[in-house]
Every structure is written in structure tokens, then in C-alpha cells.
Structure 1
């Protein structure tokens, strides 16, 4: 069983898809990495907010440690660039309609130095508000102003932690190596501080995540190695395609040139097997074409030799008769002149029969255009005039052969009965269906075919009735017609007489 190989188009498609997937996959990975940077920043802010919230709660109780809550309450990062919108920049803080909670102001005052020191390390913006959203501690400005109008702060004042992305104007002078981050958005996080199920304050943090450029700058050597690996992979892929596809095709092309230059199929080198079926199929086609061309060349050479031999004898006889008549016609009797003229006329008739037989052989070996390809066997055979007494036996059957070809074959076999079976011989033609085939048997009760001639009767120009006008082309024409129709004709052993068996595919 031959191994199944991919088509050339499959290999090329896979290569193109791979080359397309490399940049697309890179873009997808960069987008995914950008989301990872956002979640990393959010995770950092969650950790900072938890610490600042615990410190605020302790200060709220006058420095006493807060009572631990029931069980664990981890908070994971939730922001995703693919799903979460980037909101407009944060609105300005507004003046409150009432003063801040004094207890919250006292707790916030203790956090001011902590926030200032922490911001030097984290670079995050830090705000702590009371239960109404009024800022009581800040690493920068907005002290005493209200942040309750921001969506994330409003959610935290209701007891729900929140994180959002907000647009950030471009920052001039910020580069890949800068400590300031250049991303076009900023992460805002609001963490509620709870006591007994009530909100006593909100920790509001903001930080710009690292940009792709800054992240890649830190991994520039690793990225350079990845680029080199991709280039190496592309080069190896090109070499593989060249080795598995191009080289076998080039070898097949070289074989085609060798065939065109006259090399014989038996001398062509075997092309090594390739990874795709097209190259193997092309080599097989070249080999088949070379074999066919050799067969045609040998056929034409043998045919030309046989034909020249067949034409040479009657032409020489005609030339001799004409030369004798030209040189000695006056000295000949009337009977002698008539003998030479009748001999020349007989040779001319033989040449005419040879020419007609050759034309019929050429038509038999030429494929017919597709069209009528089947016929009623009984109608064709019963409609032919028989030159000898022939009994017909068979019912209506359709065979996959044009009526004209079948009629020519049967006519030639019937002529053989009249020419070779002997005086008083009779023949029989019987046809029947045998599975997917139609079998026709043509037999006679005459003298039959000698064992010495049995292997030669289908050869061109072989005849035992040359003196009776035989050309030796009838059976050769019949075999060519049968082969063109996908059938066969054979001389069956046994007797009495000759028995031919025709096998044709049923229609």
C-alpha cells in the first residue's frame, strides 16, 4: 500500500499559514502581554491598598490592631484590555458639602508620612477618604476635597471594591528607559475599609502600568534571541521545502529534457522519492511518456520496414513488366503482352488493397472522439452481408464498442472464413453475456490454423493467401479495433477449424 503524501498545494498552504501565523501570533502575544502588565499593576495596587487600609483601620481605633475578619478574603486582579473599556480621565475632585469626619481626619493624619514614604518607592498616587468620600490623607493634593463623583470610589463607598482603566494624556519626555511609565491609560483602584459591615473609609490608588516598549526594552536581548530563532526557523523551512519539493521537481524536469533529447526510458535514472505526491506522479508520468514514445518509435520503425517490404515486391514486378514491354513489346506476341499487362494490373490491385488496408489500420489504432460508444451486438452482426455460409446465434446485447468498429472486426473474421477455411466450409458466430463482458465467438469447420502460424496470424502483413490477394492486415486491424475499445481478440486452441474469441466490456 502506497503511503499517502500531502499534495504540493497542501505543503505550500501550510508554509504560508505558518509564515502568516508568526506575525499574527506575535501581535496576539503582545496584546496578551499588555493585559498581563495591566493585571500586574492592579495586583500591586491591591496589595498596597490592603496594607494602607489595615493601617487606616488601626489608626481609626487609636492605634489598636483591628479585629481579624472571618476567614480568608483574597482579591484577584480583574481588569482585561480585551473586555474592559478605557474611561475618560478622572474628573476633578469637588468641594464637599460638609466637613470631613473628625475621627477619619485624625486617622488620616497618622498615615500622611506613611503615604509619602511609600510613594517614593511605588510611584503610585495614594488617597484615603472618609465614609463620605472626602480625602483625609494624600500623597499629593486634593486634601479636603470629595472624590465621591468617581465611579470606582462610589462603588467602594457602597462596600464593593472596584478597579477601572482611565485615559491618560501623553507624557512628554518619557522613554523606554525612563522610570515614568508611558502607557496611554492608568489603573485606578478603590478599596473599601469596613468595620462591622459599614464603610469607614476608602483607599484610592492609581498607577500607570508599564508600556509594551518599556517591557520589551527590559527584554531586548531575549527578543533579539527570539527574532534570530524565527529567522532560523524560516530558513530551515525554506530548506525543507527546497529539499522535499524543488529538488525532485528539478530532477524530473532534467529527465523530461533527457527524454526530449532522445534518451530511452530504461536508461533514465530513478528520481528519489519526495515528500509530496506530485513529484512522484510527475516522475511516473515522464517514465510512462518515455515508454510510450519508445513504443511509438519502435512501432513506426518496424511498420516502415514491413510496409517498404510489402510495397517493394509489387512495385518491382510492375517496373519489370513495364521495362520488358518498353524494350520488347514489338517482338512479343499478343498473348505475351496480355500476360505482362495482367500481371502489372494484379500488382496494382494489390497495392490498392494494401493502401486501403493501411488506412483502415490507421483508423483502427486512432482513438475515436467520445460520443457513441456502445451498440446492439445482434443488430450489427445480423445486418452484415456474409461472404460465406455463417450461422448466427445470440440475443440482443449492448457492448461498449462503436458499431462501426464491431462491424469491421466481424467483417474481417467472416472474410477469413471465405478465404482460408477452404471450399465448402461453414462458419458460426455466437454471442452471449458473461458477467460485465460480452463474449463473441467466431468459428468455422475448415482447415484451421497450423501450429506454426498460430503465433503469427495477428502480425501485420502476415498472410497465407498472398496469391489470392491477401494483404495480411485483416486480423491486425481487428486486434487494433478491439484494443481501442478496451476489449481483446484471441485465437482459441482446438478444432476443427479456426475459433476466435472476442471479449468486449458490456455497455
Structure 2
């Protein structure tokens, strides 16, 4: 059995509308949406600069807190050992903040906030090496440096931060290395020696990088802070600290189990969304496309609902398409039947005309005047029948494409018809307003009354009943009536019991088509004496 989906794709490729302009299929659009969903968390990792900035500020805040504790300890020791002979530098400046609207002093509190910002702070080169200096370190500061050395080492073991204690000239007095060397030439140290807290972001160079190191623990920058040691409002030294901040990759490595669960959730959610799209949109649309192609090829068996509609809109689209297809099939059947009837009805008079004309042509002088007259009368009679049939066809076409709307009163219409028909009594019980134009109402009732007279009626009675939402107009006559065998065929086109006397069988069909165009119905009502009774119902 051929692959119908492949046939559909080939038909789409061959269709001019698809060749002229490429339009992505719904499956491609769904795939693009799913890819975007997958890129959202990945893009979030790339653009997590705000979080990375928060990590750096957190590192700076921790260094400030640790440095403040060390500076306070150093200041107390300096006061205890020799407060009178301390070499002090410039006056200390109040704490700073990167946001002007934040207060640096609140009562007796003077908090020092983080100053670093990845969006504003430049990343400086690696810290310059310490330099030799000719400055002598004051004995008091040397003693304080020796006392602080084990504290700095133990603190570094726990916090992974590096600490240096400098005197007022920038010479290192305590730390794991560089004791006796000067750092006064470093920008942040120079600012701190001037009495103001300073911080910097510097490049971090790893001498022997390892893959796992760079992924789980490494980062490209290092945070440096320089906090003045303040004694009696003046700078007695500097606590110079540094530490490598955490980064996003490190956090993801540390939280790898959570990240894996999150990734599994994202993939699962993407799969669920894709399944819903296919089940609720893409699949039903492809099925509807295949169904429409079958219907277009004339397969009446395809006129059935889809197995899965997916959603309300596709269900409505499928239902409307099937209704339209049924109407088109019915219309096609009607046109075929109508064409066959018209061919049959016109064939008889045309055959008769052709036969009479051939006899006149072949008979020549041998035909008598009576025979010639008979043949000519047959030609004229059949021509008149063909003309009548064509007029009825035009009337039917007008009835099926009539302009909808308008209103008129019943009594004036019946009065005009009554004045034109002799030998037939027409009466009505009351007047009413009809939802038809006067011309269309005249066509309906004139055809009905003419039909009654042609079937031997001498009296026609029009009865109006109902009102409001439904109006019923019944046309009764005392003619021959309709036999039970013919009752179900009276509205069929070209059905007539008066063919020999010139009936075309289209009058009631014209009436029915015109009323249907106005959302009205007509039926043969039973149980009316010996005559015929037609009931017209208008739904307002």
C-alpha cells in the first residue's frame, strides 16, 4: 500500500503555491520552538553575568570582614605595646560606597560596602611583584607582625585568602612571603596608605593549569582589597588581602547533581511539549490534509470525522470542512441530476422539431397543405415548449441566486394576483407581513395559485397563522389534489403529471429554491379535503 504521507509531501512540493514560496511546515516550527526552549537554560548560563558579579562582590565583602578583624586586632596591639611612638600616616577617610544614595555613616556605625562591579571595574594586569626598599620598619610594627603571623596563616588555611600586613610606608611586616619588601607602588595599596579603602580586580595567571582545575575551581580574575589600619584617626598600616572568587562553572560543578536533575527536567519538559504539539496540532493537521486530498479526489468514504482532533480549533476546522465537502458533493449530485433532466426535457422537443423539419425538407411538393400545416404546428408547439422550459430554467436560476431581504404585506400581493386570474376565487383570512420582497412574494404565490388552477381548482384559500418567531401561511385549493404515490415527488425538478398539456414540473422547485434562500420551508400538508394544501413556514 503506498505511503500516503509521502504522497502528500510530493503533492505539496509539486503544487505551484508551494513552489512559488517556501513555507516552513508545522513540524519545523515546532522543532524551532523546542530548540529555543533548550537554549533558554544554556543561554542563561552564558549570560549569568549578574550572578558572576554577585560572586565577586560576595568575595570582596568577605575579604573586607576578615581584613577589618585583622586591622582591629593590629590596632589594639599597637596601642598596647607603644601608643606614644607609633609612626602614623595621613588621616583615615570615611568608608566609601559605589552607590551615592547609600549612607556611609549611620550613627556610630560606618560600614564599608563592596566597590567592585564587573560592568564598571576594569580588570587590571596581575599584581606587580614586591620591591626592595630602604625604609626601616618600626620595632613596634615588627613585633605586631610577628604576633599576627600565626593568625594570618590559620586564617588563610580556613578561608583560602592571602593576607599581608603593611606598615605606614607600605612595607610588608607580616604574611607568608614578601616580608621586608615594599608594595607601596601597587595602586590599591597606595590608595589605602592615603587613608581610603581600595579594591581591584586583577588577572589571575595559573602556572600549571589542569583541565579539572580550570573547570571546577579555576577563574580568570582575583579580588584584591586594601584596608587601612587606623589608630587615633590616622593610618598606621594596611591589611592587604586577596582571594580568587567562585565562578559559575565552579558553582555548577559543586551543584552538579542538582544541575543534572535540572537538565533532565528541561529535556523531559521539552519532550512533553513536543509530544503535545504533535498530538494536538501537527498530527491532526496532517491527518486533515490527507483527508482533504482524499475528498478532493472524489472519495466519499473520507467524509467522516478524524480519529483525533487534538484541539477545539482543529475540531471546528475539520467539522466545517466536512460540512462544506458534503454540501459540495450534494451540489455536484444536484448539478449532474439537473443536467440529465434538462438534457432529457430538451431532447424531446428538439427531436420532434428536427423530425418535422426533415419531413418538410424531404417531402417537397408531395406533401399536402394539411400535412405541411401539421408539421409546422408541431415545430411551433415544440419550440414553445422549449422556450417555456428555458424560461423556467432562468426563473430557477434567479430563485437560487435571489437577493435576500425585504418585506411586504400579503394582502396587496394576493390582490394583484387575484385581479389577473379569471375564473378562480382567491381569499385570505387576514393580512400579515412577509419577510420577502414584493416581487419574490408574488413569484411564490402566483406559482402556487397557477398550479392550483392547472389542476382543476376553482377556489384558493390562503390561511395565515402563528406569528412572532414563526409565521405559517397555508395555501388550500379544491382541485384534484395530490395522490399518495406522487406526494413525495411534487418538489422534484421536472416531475409533472401534465407533461402532455405543457407542464414542465419546475414550478414547485422554483418556489422551494426561492423560499430556502430566505430560510423558509414549504411542504405538502396532509388532510385537506380533496384538494391540495401547501404549508409555508417563515422562521424569523
Structure-1-length-normalised TM-score: 0.69
1:381 is the counterpart of 2:413: yes
- In structure 1, which of residues 17, 21, 25 is the aligned counterpart of residue 44 of structure 2? 25
Query: What does residue 433 of structure 2 align with?
Result: 397
- In structure 2, which of residues 462, 486, 510 is the aligned counterpart of residue 453 of structure 1? 486
- In structure 2, which of residues 423, 448, 453 is the aligned counterpart of residue 418 of structure 1? 453
Query: What does residue 111 of structure 1 align with?
Result: 148
Output one character per residue of 1:25-45: Cα deviation in whole Å (capped at 9) or x when no partner. Answer: 3445x3354145335524653
Structure 2 CA distance, aligned partners of 1:83 and 1:403? 85
Structure 1 residues 189 and 272, CA gap change in structure 2 (3 angstroms): farther
Query: What does residue 273 of structure 1 align with?
Result: 308
Structure 1 residues 81 and 205, CA gap change in structure 2 (3 angstroms): closer
- In structure 2, which of residues 270, 273, 277 is the aligned counterpart of residue 241 of structure 1? 277
Structure 1 residues 427 and 62, CA gap change in structure 2 (3 angstroms): same
Query: What does residue 500 of structure 2 align with?
Result: 467
Output one character per residue of 1:365-419: Cα deviation in whole Å (capped at 9) or x when no partner. Answer: 34x5xxx6321222883685444343456657362x5555444323322322332
Structure 2 unmatched ranges of 5 or more: 1-25, 82-110, 129-135
- Taking the TM superposition and a 5 Å limit, the aligned residue runs for 1:117-266 are 118-119=155-156, 124-127=161-164, 138-139=174-175, 150=192, 154=196, 166-168=200-202, 177=213, 182-184=219-221, 186=223, 188=225, 205-212=241-248, 237-238=273-274, 241-264=277-300, 266=301
Contact residue 315 and residue 347 of structure 1 kept, 8 A: yes
Query: CA offset at residue 460 of structure 1?
Result: 0.9
Structure 1 residues 374 and 392, CA gap change in structure 2 (3 angstroms): farther
Structure 1 residues 83 and 413, CA gap change in structure 2 (3 angstroms): farther
Contact residue 68 and residue 227 of structure 2 kept, 8 A: no
Output one character per residue of 1:243-286: Cα deviation in whole Å (capped at 9) or x when no partner. Answer: 5433332222222222232211x355753314344543443344
1:302 is the counterpart of 2:337: yes
Q: Mean alpha-carbon deviation: is it higher for 329-338 or for 270-279?
A: 329-338
Contact residue 41 and residue 187 of structure 1 kept, 8 A: no
Q: Mean alpha-carbon deviation: is it higher for 354-363 or for 199-208?
A: 199-208
Output one character per residue of 1:447-480: Cα deviation in whole Å (capped at 9) or x when no partner. Answer: 4333333222111112233333221101111111
Q: Mean alpha-carbon deviation: is it higher for 473-482 or for 271-280?
A: 271-280
Structure 2 CA distance, aligned partners of 1:190 and 1:457? 110
- Taking the TM superposition and a 5 Å limit, the aligned residue runs for 1:479-490 are 479-490=512-523
Structure 1 residues 491 and 446, CA gap change in structure 2 (3 angstroms): same
SS in 1 for 2:486: helix
Structure 1 residues 16 and 180, CA gap change in structure 2 (3 angstroms): closer
SS in 2 for 1:455: helix
Structure 2 CA distance, aligned partners of 1:81 and 1:493? 98
1:351 is the counterpart of 2:386: yes
- In structure 2, which of residues 328, 349, 357 is the aligned counterpart of residue 293 of structure 1? 328
Structure 1 CA distance, aligned partners of 2:376 and 2:194? 126
Contact residue 38 and residue 79 of structure 1 kept, 8 A: no
Structure 2 CA distance, aligned partners of 1:409 and 1:152? 110
Contact residue 303 and residue 325 of structure 2 kept, 8 A: no
Contact residue 392 and residue 506 of structure 2 kept, 8 A: yes
Query: CA offset at residue 169 of structure 1?
Result: 5.3
Output one character per residue of 1:34-71: Cα deviation in whole Å (capped at 9) or x when no partner. Answer: 145335524653674476367547746869xxxxxxxx
Structure-2-length-normalised TM-score: 0.65
Structure 1 residues 345 and 247, CA gap change in structure 2 (3 angstroms): same
Q: How many residues align?
A: 463
Contact residue 437 and residue 505 of structure 1 kept, 8 A: yes
SS in 1 for 2:335: helix
Query: What does residue 68 of structure 1 align with?
Result: none
Contact residue 417 and residue 442 of structure 2 kept, 8 A: no
